[in-house]
Structure 1
Amino acid sequence: PCKCFKGYVKVKTFGHGRRAVTEALKAHGNRVNWDDLCVSARVVQEYPPWYSVGHFRFSSGTRLISTREMLVLCHLFFEEDGSLVMTCKSTQLDSVPEDPDCVRCTLHFGGYSVRPTEDPDVVLIMYSGCVDGGGWVPTWVQDLVAWRQPLALGKFRAHFEEAAQEGGTHFEAVRGAGPAR
């Protein structure tokens, strides 16, 4: 069974704009820094700025259920109003076989929109999706995890804003343009 999720957050860019926020969201390897459910993440392929493939492992939220993994293809679109939309869905690659210690879940659709607001230094991020956790997952576990997924946006905001305000190599790393800290 599929679970859908959606969350919104406003993020101050400290003069760096929508592009920097989008780069930080696309820096798949950094997701472990702001998503409590993500236990590992990496960029598998990237063809900036148009698309990327990320491989993620997520905690199920309980030791009774196997860790989940997901291989996700993300496309970036630029809208006329200045919005950036990153659509995501599950994909398959021969170079990333299913991990026998995990259950591969399916993101049927999802992604982020980064939209301008009245304040030119603040963007509105919406994160939504519909995921099938794969295998057997009790409804109570699905409910436990589904409501927590959009909460990652709050941690992303703190992660991004701290780095944007500080600038320098820390900000470059958050955007995926430099070595992680």
Structure 2
Amino acid sequence: MKTPTHFIGCPGILNTGMSIVVFLYASVGFFGYLKYGPDTKGSISLNLEPKEILAQCVKIMIAVAIFFTYSLQFYVPMEIIWKNLKHHFGARKLLVEYAVRILLVVGTVIIAIAIPNLGGFISLVGAVCLSTLGLIFPAIIDLVTFYEEPGLGRYNWRLWKNVLLIIFGVIGFVTGTYVSIREIIESGESS
């Protein structure tokens, strides 16, 4: 934080950190598929032999890691929610904040229990969020920002680029949502 310029750039902290994370995820996926082949289940931890002590240790470490990092991952959504709610409560702010936190944690636990196959649900969230937040909204914001005639570029290239991104995003949204919902329904019927 002393030198924020080190965060961005070619060998910046963000690029280095994300490269390490991508490498680790790709390695786990590659070696997991190399070990289990086409019979690989949705998560590598599902493929581990239940009777092996090392496999049980890995599952316990994953559970402990989730337990200790849940509050860290929950910090940002709670800050956004609480910022919009706190002005409605007077002296009982602390009590209400704890109640909201408990309700949200219990709600996420109920969702996790109610959806036994999280793969379809995760792909549904990915299809909706990636297409809207990654493709459609940035293109719309770019169009609104540079709507003035000289801002769209020669031959309105920025307009055509954004229209193609919006069309691609809508196609991804519709097809991804359809496939994910179908997968959720089919996994629910087979259970």
TM score, norm. by length of structure 2: 0.24
Greater strand fraction, Structure 1 or Structure 2: 1
Q: Highest CA radius of gyration, 1 or 2?
A: 2
Larger RCO, structure (CA 8 Å, separation 6 or more): 1
